[in-house]
Chains A and B, each alone.
Chain A
Amino acid sequence: MTTTLEQILDDLSTIIADLGVIRENVSDATDRSVINNQIRDLSQWWRAIDDQRAAQTNSELDTAKTALARITQDLASEKKKLTQVAVVIHRGAQAVAIAEKVAQRLV
């Protein structure tokens, strides 16, 4: 099984957090200094690995974003269609209203 960069980052952050807890319980200056330097060193590793992780592509997200943008466009065109339908029906209603008035005058 291949270890992913995400898993390495998870493990590293757990180790750093554990060191932080140990640091809180250590009062000897020399021991604290050792722990402090370990935390600093591992933090830099964490950032270096995070930098590599961030360089990875995310095609799934790219696809999702493109698809959502397309759906957004579809929705805009559906709105246009709805407006057109409403306009046609409204014109029909206007025509009926005029026809009724004309008929009333003729009677």
Chain B
Amino acid sequence: MLKTSLATELLGILCCASVLQGCANMDAVGQFAHGAQALSDASAQFYDMTLESDRQLAMLGVDLGAAENSPKCRTQDGSFLPPWACATRGENLLSETRRNRAAVAALAQYAQSLNDIATFDDDAKVEKAAQELSGNLNHAAKTLDIAANTQESALANAISGLAKVYIDLKAQNVVHNKAKQAQEHVAVIIQTLKNDIKRQQQRLAVARLNAKATREEWFNAFRKGYQAVDASLTNKAALSIAAGHLVEDELVDMVAEQPGKLFLEDLERTTDSCLQAHIAIQDPDLKDKANNVGHFVNDAKNLLSSARRLTQ
């Protein structure tokens, strides 16, 4: 009896030793999944922001004095869009953002599935499933009036311990193999997001400059109208109110500039660290690469803070 008990304890120690190394790696997979979810949430906000900037550009671009066949309204097949269709076009960007946003969401789902395997806990669920399935065993136990408690049997305990080692190793193997298999696809999605960020940085800068230039031109036009000899008091009041709004918008825009810029910078940093973290979790022996996962988690946290500041 003592021998069996010692053997069981030894087996337990061996089990722990072989699984411990993998545990650190599996924790990293969990962290990666949380980070990927944060990245996906932030990217949803990012794509909303992209569409908002595009709408602003469309609004600023309304040109009622433009000719019917303005070159800006030419389509790829050489035909011309009618003025209303030209002013309101934006479907292509809408489709693109939907597609790219879905790709980032797929990345988060994949990360969650990796985590489901990494945190696979056989104890409670398996015992329940085993009890449901092993009707014959339960029946036999009832007939013989004995409880099939694996904790009371040293050999059964040993079998359970070995099973845990096997399942943990198998889970680690699945995680590493699937992560390797996914690497090039994760890289493509991350690169697409990076390209979108770069394009949005341009779109934001272009929209902001356009808005500044437009506001100044409108302000000057209002001023000219206000100072005209024949300007009525009513017109003067209306022009003053409109000019006041332009000034207000200019100042609001100056305040809003920094959080938007920071959010894009944080998002870009997080996409980079996401890719590094994904490479790290493919390595069964994390060691130095453990920092990469840590950086990703920190970047994702900062990103969420930036996103919150944007909506305040």
Report A's interface with B, CB cutoff 8 A. 9-10, 13, 16-17, 19-20, 23, 29, 32-33, 35-37, 39-40, 43-48, 50-52, 54-55, 58, 60-65, 67-69, 71-72, 74-76, 78-79, 82-83, 85-87, 89-98, 100-102, 105
A-B pairs with beta carbons under 8 Å apart, 23 shown: A13-B202, A40-B214, A44-B57, A44-B63, A45-B72, A48-B73, A55-B76, A60-B188, A64-B103, A72-B110, A75-B113, A76-B113, A82-B117, A82-B167, A83-B126, A86-B163, A89-B159, A90-B160, A96-B156, A97-B152, A98-B140, A98-B144, A102-B146
Q: Which residue on B lies nearest to A14, using beta carbons?
A: B202
Contact of B244 with A by CB under 8 A:
no
Whether A52 lies near B76 (C-beta < 8 A) is yes
Q: Does the CB pair A47–B57 fall under 8 Å? A: yes
Query: B182: CB under 8 A from chain A?
Result: yes
A70 to B: closest C-beta gap in Å:
9
Known: A9-B202, A89-B159, A93-B163. A68 touches B126 (CB 8 A): no
Complex interface: chain A residues within 8 A of B170 (CB): 82, 85
CB distance from A71 to the nearest CB of B (A): 5
Q: In the complex, which residues of chain A have a beta carbon less than 8 angstroms from the beta carbon of B54?
A: 47, 50
| CB closest chain-A residue, reference B203 | A50
Q: How many residues of B contact A (CB 8 A)?
A: 80
- Complex CA distance for A24 and B13, rounded to whole angstroms: 71
* Residue in B103, B107, B163 whose beta carbon sits within 8 Å of that of A90 in the complex: B163
> What is the bound-complex CA distance between A62 and B110, given in angstroms?
15
Interface residue from A17, A32, A61 paired with B189 (Cβ < 8 Å): A61
Binary contact readout B173-205 vs A (1 if CB under 8 angstroms, 0 otherwise): 010001001101110110010000001001101
If A55-B76, A64-B184, A71-B181 are given as contacts, then 15 extra A-B residue pairs at C-beta distance below 8 Å, sorted by A number, are A13-B202, A20-B205, A29-B220, A44-B63, A46-B57, A64-B189, A67-B185, A68-B110, A71-B178, A79-B116, A79-B120, A85-B163, A89-B163, A94-B130, A98-B144
Bound together, the chains give a CA A59 to CA B292 distance in angstroms of 30
Knowing A69-B106, A96-B155, say if A39 contacts B210 (CB, 8 Å).
yes
Residues of B within 8 A of A (CB): 54, 57-58, 60-61, 63, 72-73, 76, 89-90, 92-93, 95-96, 99-100, 102-103, 106-107, 109-110, 113-114, 116-117, 120, 122, 125-127, 129-130, 133-134, 137, 140-141, 144, 146, 148-150, 152-153, 155-157, 159-160, 163, 166-167, 170-171, 174, 178, 181-182, 184-186, 188-189, 192, 199, 202-203, 205-207, 209-210, 212-214, 216-217, 220
